[in-house]
Every structure is written in C-alpha cells, then in structure tokens.
Chains A and B, each alone.
Chain A
Amino acid sequence: MNSNQDTIAAISTGTGSAGIGIIRISGPDAVGTAASLFVSATGKDLRTAEASKMYYGRIRNPQDDSVIDEVLIVKMNGPHSYTAEDVVEINCHGGIVPTRRILELVLAQGVRHADPGEFTKRAFLNGRIDLTQAESVMDVITAKSEKALEISVGQLSGSLRDKIREIDSQIIDMLVLIESNLDYPEYEIEQLTNEKITSGIENARTLAQKILEYGRNSYLMREGVRTAIIGKPNVGKSSLLNLLLGEERAIVTDIPGTTRDVIHEAILIGDIPFVITDTAGIRETEDQVEKIGVERSLSAAESADLILFLRDASKDLDDDEAAVIGTLDRNKTIFIANKSDKAEDVSRETNWNYISVKTGEGIEDLKERMSRAVTGGSVEGSGNAVMLNERQENLLRQTIQRLDDARRAIDDGLSAEFYSVDLTEAGETLRQITGESLGEDVLDTIFERFCIGK
C-alpha cells in the first residue's frame, strides 16, 4: 500500500437514491477519524468493529457533543476496498445539509478534501484497477476536474461569481500592497500599515462568510429545489419520476390521465437536493377530479423553482401544449422530449432535450442540466441565495481559515512577510474555485499601480 498517502474524503452520491448522502473517507486515518466522530447505538468502537458490516449510530461533534445526524457506517479494510486503502463510508439520511456538515467535521480532523477523481486514481495507483482500465481512469480524472471547473467558472451564478471576484480582488489588493512595500522599501508608494491589512482581511472574510451563510441558509439547500414535471397526459411524467427516484413510486399506465394528484419526492442529484413533483397531465377535461388535478399542476408549475416540461417526442406539439408553454417562465424551464426511442427518424429540435425513460438515453445529461440550472442561477433562490457545491463550500471555508491565520499573525506582532504567506494561501485556495492561479497577477498589478524601479 502507498504508505505515504494522506487521508482524503468527499461526498459521493453516484446512486441518486432519495435523500441519502454518502461520505467516503480513504487512507491511513480513515477509520481513526470516523471512529472519533461516530457513536454506535450498541456502544461498539468502529476501530474494533467488523469490516464490511453496517453499524447504526450517530455522528457527534466532539467539540460540543452536539449530534449532527443518525447514520449507517461501514468500514472496509485495505486492500479489500475500492481504493485498496482503509475506507469508511458514512450514509446519512437527513439530506444534503447534515451530509455536508459531517464532511466538514471530517475535514476539520485533518483529513484532506479529495481532488476530482482522486478515489479512482488511488484505486489505480494501488493496483486495484488493472492496466486496461488506466485510460478510462485518466478520462475520469480529466472529465471530473473539467466538470468541476466548468461548474465553477462557467456555471457559477452571476451573483456568486461577482462575490468571489470581490474577495479575490480584496486579497490581491492586500498582497500588492505588501509585496510592493517589501520589494521596494525605498520608494514613495502607498504605505503598508497593519490597519489597511486588518480591514482588508475583515472585508474579505465578511464576504466569504456571507456567501457560506447564504448558501447554507438558502431554502434551496435546506428543503430542496422544488421541481415540477408537467406535460400532457401519457408523455411519461410518472415514468421519469420513478427513474430519477430509482424506485416505482408513481403509478405508470398507458392510460392517459393516470396521475390525478400531485406527488412530492426528494432526491439528490450531484449533491443538490431536489423535491420533485409529479403532476396530473394537462388537458381540457370534463372529469371533475381530473380538472382539479390539472389546476394543481399549473399552480405547481408556477410556484416551482424548476420546471421539467415533458412532451412526447414522437408527436408534434399540439395547441394545448403550445398554450401551456406560453404561460411558463422559460428561465426556469427545461424542455424535454420523452420517448425518443419511438422517434428515431424524427429530426431533433435544438432547444429540446431528448430522452427516453425506456432506454435511459439522455438521462445523465438531463441530471446535469438540472444541477446546472441550480448552480448556474436559472433557479431563483430566496433573496440573495447562492448555491455552492460542497467543493466550493470547502474551498471557501479554507480561505476563511487562512485569512484568520493572517489576522492572528498581525495580532502577534509579526511583520508583513509572515502574514503574506497566509494571504497568498488564501488567494490560491479561493482561486481553485475559479481554476485560475495567483502567480503573476500580483506582480503585474504592482507594476501597473506603482511607479517603481531605477
């Protein structure tokens, strides 16, 4: 085993199962770390517990003894695990918020947040995945990190991106002031003072803290993104819900008008909670029960954060559908043409997402569209709400820690070259959210702003 490896953790939710978040920890300290947080219902210590067996209990913050969530926990001893290292998986049922808080707690014990694709990379480096799979491992890493970045840079909601930029320019300003004063002590340039830096730190910190709080308090995060599936009867709305859920929740028949009432179900896509609403198919009807159902569907669409509008790909849009589309808020709507399996020879329209619940075609893309709709800001949160994925949240939290380190150095009476170390790290951490590096920016700005040099 790779003994010099550190221990890593991340939320892994490949399964899409309703409301469950899994925290995976891998590395030499995996068991020790989890054991220090886990209180088993039977009093069993995780260190001596049996491998590959599920244990029920609670995760408790050792600092204040507060209980975060009830969990199922399982440990796997290397090399009999995915990464061939010691691995612990913590399953929480309470949704994404407690899942993230547990991850936060795990990271606070000195565990490092995993890079995109890192579990797979370790599996390979430890001989768990064989040579023929090496290429796909490389693809996974590239794809995952590109996706992570894509989400970060391109899909950050406008307000979040602006806020990150604001913190970034605060940090750059501080570094420019520090470095210009350190490298050009004899020039008449803006004087470096502790006051300027402490207030810069305070500003940056407040901004970062605000983003974190918005993110966490946003009802989107707490209660999930309210998502309504609407469309004409029989287009496959209930089928889509069942597929996303991974279980047969709604009744599916080939009789139009099967679903009469609204059904809510919670699921996780990526690490974002969605509450999906299946609705009655919308059509002109004389049936009283169905009529009420249709009204409810339309009002569900109105109050939803996100709308999945479904039609049958094998049929042309009819007047009813066109009329409904006319009433929808397009910014929060994803247009989906289902049953693509039945429409192979029909030419595809670009603004529709073609899927087939039957064959699974287009489903992964749809999930991706859904999470991007949230992180990309098409979904309006309450007020200033911003959605952070857990990687972004973690980076932001680390940025704050580095800012605090800098602040402490100032209070300890240390001079600029010391807290410059912390501020540089703060800047580098923050920039991982946008995928840029800090390097030349500070020097460039110094020469732009100050007239220095012989």
Chain B
Amino acid sequence: MEYQAGDFDVIVIGAGHAGCEAALAAARKGLETLLLTINLDSVAMMPCNPAIGGTGKGQLVREIDALGGEMGRNIDATMIQVKMLNTGKGPAVHSLRAQADKKAYQQRMKEVIEHQEHLILRQQEAVELTAENGRITGVKVRTGAVYGCGACVIATGTYLKGKIFIGDVSYDGGPNGLFPAEELSGSLKDLGFPLQRFKTGTPARVDKKSLDFTKMIVQPGDEKIVPFSFENDRIDIEQVPCWLTYTNPEAHQIIMDNLDRSPLYTGDVTGIGPRYCPSIETKVMRFADKNRHQIFIEPEGLNTNEMYVQGMSSCLPEDVQIAVYRCVPGMEDVEFMRSAYAIEYDCIYPTDLTASLESKRIAGLFFAGQINGTSGYEEAGAQGIVAGINAADYVLGQEPLILSRADGYTGVLIDDIITKGTLEPYRMMTSRAEYRLLLRQDNADQRLTPLGREQGLISDERWEHFLAKQKQIDEEIYRLKHLIVKPGEASAKILESLSASPLQNGISFEELLRRPEITYENSRGLDPERPELSEWVTQQVEVRIKYDGYIKKQLQQVERFKKLERKRLPEQIDYSDIKGLRIEAAEKLTEIRPATMGQASRISGVSPADISVIQIYLESLKK
C-alpha cells in the first residue's frame, strides 16, 4: 500500500561515504533533508580496506574538509595509525593516510548525522524515483511510503543489483553480507538511464590470533601525527602497527592449478574490474615472472580480531583461498572470518552528468559515488559533498558549485568522469591532476574554504581562523622577503653546519630559503626575531617561497586553461549543423554536450582545429 509520508527539500539515497557528505551538506545549508539507507547499521561503512587517504585520496579528504565536509574530522577522531606518504619528495605529492577503527568511524559519523539539524536518517530501501516534466518529484520506498522532494541525490554505492562471487558460488547480495537493492536499477532505466556493470573485490578478513607476526615485518605509524582536518592542530593517540609479508611460489602454484574455478577466468564475471586493484589470481597470471607479491595485514579496529589482508583480493573458491593464504609466511594457521569475494553492480554512465553532478536527463536528480563508476571512499565523499551542495542550491534556485581542474582533485575527478566517462572503476591518482603542484593537500583550505564559506558550510569561527592564518602567511612571507642575511662569521658558521656554502653578499631570507639544503626549520639560527607561528602557517610560507618558480609555471598553465574554460557553450548548440567540423568530433560533442569550450577540448576525438571551428561558429552566430 502506498502512502504519502511527507515532503523534503532534498532526499539522499544511500548513507555511505557519498551519501553522508551529501546529506550533511544539504542539511547544513538549512534544507530539510532525508537520508535513506538500506540498513541503519551500515552508515559510513567501509566494506573494503580499513584506511582513509593515500596518494591522491589524501588530497581529496583535505578538500572535503576545506569545503566544510565531515570525512576529515571523522577519520581524525577514529584513526588508529597514520602515515604521511612520499615525504621523500616535495609537498605536492605528500599524501596522508590513516588506518581507521572501522566501527568507531561508522559510529561517529552516524552520531554526527543523528545530531544534525534539518536531517532525518531513516532505514528504507528506495525502489522508485518519480519525475514530472523532466524534474524529480519524489522517492518511493519498499514499505509503500512515498516521500516528495525538490531534489534527490543517488548515492547507492555497489548495492544496485549487487551480485557476489566466491569461486563457483554466486548469489545476489550487497557488500559485506548486506542485502542488495534490486528495484532501483529498473526505475533508473525507466527514466532513460543506460546502465553499465562494474566489478570490484575485497580480500578475506582473518583472525588475528591465528597469525604469526614474528614472520612478518612490522609497519608502524609515523612518529608525528598529522591530522586530516584543518580544524585540528594535533592528535594524541596510541598507534597500532600494520604488518608486511609476501606470497611465494607455492601460493602461486595453487592459484594456477585452480584458475579454472575462478569466475574471472571462466567468464562468469562479466563486470569490468579496476586495473589498479587486481585480484591475486590476476597478479599471478599477468606477472608470471614475479615470484612474490606484497601482502599488508591491517587491523580493522581496536576492539576486533578481524585483520584485513591487503593484496589478496580474490574470487577463487573458498577452499582454494584458504589454501593459498596458508602458504604465506605468518599465515600458516590462518583462520578466515570473512571470505574474499568479488561484487558486481550496476552503475550509470557518468557522461550523463554535468559538472554539478546533476543528470542531464532529469532536473534535480544528482548522482555521487560508486554509482558514477568511481571507486574509493574518498572519491565518493568528494562527489557527495558537491552533489549535496548542488542539490540544495538547485532547490534554493542558486548557481551550482562547479569545481574546475584547477580548483582541486575533486574538480579533476568530476571533469574526468563526466567528460571522458570511465571503462573501469575510477580511482584518483596524483598523476591525473595536471596542476598537481598547485593542488596540494597543504593548501586545500586556501583553494576551497572560501567556496565552502560562500556555500554556508564554514562557521564564523572557522572562517575567522582561516583569515587569520592567511594573514599570518602573507606577513611572514613579506617579512622574509625584506629580511637581509649578511655574510660574515656568524652566518657562515650556521651555514656550514647545514653543509651550505657561505654567503658572498647579503641576500634576502627568501632567496636563502630557495637553496635546497635550507629549510624554514633549520635556518632558525639565522633569524633570531622569527615570530612564533603554527606549523600550518610555516609550512605554507616555506612551500610558497621554495617552489615559487614552478608554482608560477603552473599558474601560467592554469591561466591558459581558464581562457577556454570561461567560454560557455550554449545548451542548444547543434553540432551536426557546424560546417567544417569533422563528423567524428560532431558525434562526440553531441554525445557529451560539454558545458564549456575547455571541456569540449578534453573530449577524446576533438582536435584543436575543431575547437577553433566551434569558436568561429559561435562568433558568427553573435554577429
């Protein structure tokens, strides 16, 4: 029986990492928001690895935080180990990663959501979307309740028509033993969305007490804990270690002997899996010359014996999995708690979306997370906050928040998937960001907090704090520019201790800091009047001075990029009508319908000459 269950401004379907950020953003903007989840115990669940961040992903978390999202604060509150990756290289590729206590992570996020004003969290399975005149109007759930809405965000992760594979056994199922969502795919199809099928997998969880860590290499956290959130200055926790071990030829042999029982190779799994997340059988097959592969053992939390076995995702049959794992040093007596599985699920073609993550088919309908063909908690969260903000802006009749490739990894991610689509679950990597030197995790707040503030997601207190920080940075840079270091015995001595050559003439401190051997910290002795500043500030000062040359180079690239980005393409443009445009280009442009000339130029198959032709066509329309 259907019944009218009330109206909301924004309904978010799915309370995973995308859905939580989306719902919080909409509610924090003051809109009445309903967050639906298939199971209340799965809010902000981490069904794969127990970590947040990493290369490219750590940057995304910082960006979510800078916009006023929750992921950074949530992991700061629930981390059990933290590492800054790539510290041997420059600041642009430093990436933060933390191991999470999974249950604590979920618990805290659920609590934040429950306490959020204007936000209602409800266990319901959405089964149908209703639309009128091309606009979203409501969501129907399995119990018969019908909720009206102004805008809706779909953030259903891997639930849609989820199918689990463990060797030759397969059954309908969602992640982590939960139920799949069987109905919503059909409703999306009815609304005109073509769907594709992707695949991903996760390794087994094993019992800690069955492992022999003496045969593994300990992987401790960093001595110094750096927080994700710009709101946190320090975190004090007792860290727990991860462990490293390796597969061996015996393990590989068992895999090879049983390949015919893996659905990946029998052809039963048709979904497309990610290349960067290969199953152990794929690794052994494709890299036959490697006689060992790394295995990282990671705790799933403080109050559980479950350990995640990174590097061993598989869809071999359970008995084979166990035999393979037991070949690995330290895992001879391993006991499984959950088996490795592969999951296949429906997702949309992200080229159906605009840069605001709104669908081009139905107004007011937004998509975020794995449903868009991406993978990863961080990728989901970043899309979630953008979709949530824009769903709210849509209801409010305001301009959407569009992040460009020059604004952040979030912009790169969204532009990539909506412009090029994706043939495999899309993972963020720093190499995807062409302006990587500018899009650093350390300056995410400078790039995005003003935008978060405009969107009403940054409190007065945080905003004041942000402005004060920027002022301190500018003042300190100004001071160092005008501070002259003189040659002489005193400075020579200090420089010598840093194995730096002595000064010939007086130079500004700024120039001195550009020398490779000099850091802000180790040059303290040459600068007795240095003010007391927080590390957030000194880090910015140092980066901006030290890498000024390359930062300028990238800023110039950004300027060139923006020229085309500013030129908007009219929605109704008929590409087949443009004489001189090559047919291939016209077809691609008609399919993607780019919003700007810049986006058009990034479509594969569209050449610089095509862009010139469009430009002239538009110009001739004006005259």
Contact = CB atoms under 8 A, between A and B. Distances in A.
B555 to A, nearest CB: 12
Q: Looking at A135, A413, A418, which has the most chain B CB atoms within 10 Å of its CB?
A: A418
Nearest to A446: B431
Residue from the set B203, B431, B617 with the largest chain A CB neighbour count within 10 Å = B431
Nearest to B298: A454
B616 A124 contact: yes
Given A185-B86, A416-B89, A454 B56 contact: no
B580 A451 contact: no
A368 interface: no
A183 B430 contact: yes
B609 A139 contact: no
A134 B616 contact: yes
Nearest to B614: A138
Contact of B93 (A182, A413, A452): A182
B619 A138 contact: no
A321 B579 CA distance: 46
A435 B610 CA distance: 13
Interface residues of B, number: 56
Contacts of B578: 138
Contacts of B275: 447, 453
B588 interface: no
> Which one of B276, B278, B290, B434 has the highest number of Cβ atoms from chain A below 10 Å of its Cβ?
B276
A179 B581 CA distance: 35
Interface string A411-454: 01111111011001000000000010101001100010001111
Given A184-B55, A417-B90, A141 B580 contact: yes
A121 B618 CA distance: 13
B429 A145 contact: no
A365 interface: no
B6 interface: no
A134 B620 contact: yes
B607 A145 contact: yes
Contact of A417 (B92, B296, B432): B92
Contacts of B249: none
Interface stretch (B228-236, B396-404, B546-554): B546-554
B447 interface: no
B277 A125 contact: no
Contacts of B616: 121, 124-125, 134, 137-138, 141
Given A135-B579, A141-B609, A418 B90 contact: yes
A184 B85 CA distance: 9
Contact of B430 (A115, A117, A182): A182
B433 to A, nearest CB: 10
Contact of B55 (A146, A183, A412, A420): A183
A117 B610 CA distance: 12
A145 B608 contact: yes
A182 B432 CA distance: 12
Nearest to A425: B557
A185 B581 CA distance: 44
A421 B553 contact: yes
Contact of A443 (B431, B582, B609): B431
A110 to B, nearest CB: 12
Nearest to A439: B604
Interface string B594-623: 000000000010011110110111011001
A417 B608 contact: no
B516 interface: yes
Residue among B92, B277, B580, B607 having the largest count of chain A Cβ atoms under 10 Å = B580
Contacts of A142: 580-582, 609-610, 613
A116 B580 CA distance: 14
Nearest to B89: A415
Contacts of A349: none
Contact of B90 (A134, A137, A414, A452): A414
A85 to B, nearest CB: 16
B437 interface: yes
B89 A124 contact: no
Given A121-B612, A134-B620, A421-B553, A443 B429 contact: yes
B599 to A, nearest CB: 15
B265 interface: no
B619 A125 contact: yes
A131 interface: yes
Contacts of A443: 429, 431-432
Nearest to B274: A453
Q: Of A138, A414, A421, which is in contact with the most chain B CB atoms at under 10 Å from its CB? A: A138
Nearest to B97: A186
Nearest to B546: A414
B609 A146 contact: yes
Nearest to B286: A451
A414 B543 CA distance: 12
Contacts of B431: 179, 182-183, 420, 442-443
A279 B601 CA distance: 52
A238 to B, nearest CB: 40
B612 A141 contact: yes
Given A437-B604, A452-B276, 5 more contacts: A118-B612, A125-B616, A141-B609, A145-B612, A185-B85
Interface of A: 115-118, 121, 124-125, 131, 134-135, 137-139, 141-142, 144-146, 179, 182-188, 409, 412-418, 420-421, 424, 435, 437, 439, 442-443, 447, 451-454
Which 4 residue pairs of A and B lie closest in terms of their CB atoms, listed nearest first? A138-B580, A413-B516, A145-B609, A134-B620
